[in-house]
């Protein structure tokens, strides 16, 4: 069944893969971006494969911008039925040297956006008695990571938020889950350097780094009808890194 899906931070990496997955699954996809012109190329790929998609620019840490984003998607496709909170940033550094601006910006984008977007789409989901809320977390939010106190804290916050929302709205046909990737080859992990990525690869059980499609597959499952009894869960997609 075709649904209306909104993917925040959908122009690159994991977000792009999720948008393409949704297009292949027959959903109408709204690709949100903050400043990346690559969002239009994602839309073109979805359309070339026979799907429907639009690109919508908005800073999802802004209350006004999120309201405009949801209104624009609704005007084109109708109420959002599947929300993927994927937008995120890093501002890595040891806590002793971490400035308050680095802490605040990570919290604004990684946590405030999840609150704003989820609250913004919830009324329509409650009215229709169906919805899927999927937030992209991280193994850093489950185990911590040196130099990422802000990022790990933001991703841990998403887990608590999601479990609470799952309990609030589960009786109305709405599920809320987290997909927590390990090391995925993307622009975000490219800055770690070859030695760090090689160490991450060696630490996995499967002997490789993850690809955005690995995460998109898990998200696609959670967004579907077969996952209606799965809620409040953290699905770890890390190639066995944490075992």
Mind telling me the catalytic residues? 151
Q: How many residues are listed for the chain in this entry?
A: 243
Decide if 53 contacts 42 (C-beta within 8 A). yes
Decide if 9 contacts 87 (C-beta within 8 A). yes
Dmax (CA) for the chain in angstroms is: 51
Q: How far is CA 189 from CA 13, 23, 94, 225, in A?
A: 10, 25, 18, 32
Q: How far is CA 178 from CA 25, 38, 87, 137, 215, in A?
A: 20, 25, 13, 6, 11
Where is 136: in which H helix or E strand?
Answer: strand 131-136
Interatomic CA distance for residues 203 and 24, integer angstroms: 32
Interatomic CA distance for residues 201 and 195, integer angstroms: 10
Interatomic CA distance for residues 30 and 27, integer angstroms: 10
Q: How far apart are the first and last CA of the chain?
A: 36
């Amino acid at each position: 069944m075709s649904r209306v899906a909104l993917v925040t931070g959908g122009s690159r990496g994991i977000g792009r893969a999720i948008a393409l997955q949704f297009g292949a699954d027959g959903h109408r996809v709204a690709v949100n971006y903050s400043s990346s012109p690559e969002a239009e190329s994602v839309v073109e790929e979805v359309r070339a494969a026979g799907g429907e998609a639009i690109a919508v620019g908005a800073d999802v840490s802004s209350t006004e911008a999120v309201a405009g984003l949801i209104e624009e998607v609704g005007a084109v496709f109708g109420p959002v039925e599947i929300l993927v909170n994927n937008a995120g940033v890093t501002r890595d550094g040891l806590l002793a040297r971490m400035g308050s601006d680095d802490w605040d910006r990570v919290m604004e984008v990684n946590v405030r956006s999840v609150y704003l977007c989820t609250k913004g789409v919830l009324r329509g989901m409650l009215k229709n008695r169906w919805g899927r809320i999927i937030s992209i977390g991280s193994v850093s939010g489950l185990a911590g990571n040196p130099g990422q106190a802000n990022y790990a804290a933001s991703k841990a916050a998403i887990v608590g938020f999601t479990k609470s929302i799952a309990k609030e709205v589960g009786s109305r046909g709405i599920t809320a889950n987290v997909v927590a990737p390990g090391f995925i080859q993307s622009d975000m992990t490219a800055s770690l350097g070859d030695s760090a990525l090689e160490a991450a690869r060696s630490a996995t059980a499967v002997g490789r780094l993850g690809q955005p499609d690995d995460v998109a597959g898990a998200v696609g499952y959670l967004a579907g009808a077969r996952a209606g009894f799965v809620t409040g869960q953290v699905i770890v997609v890390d190639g066995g890194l944490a075992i």
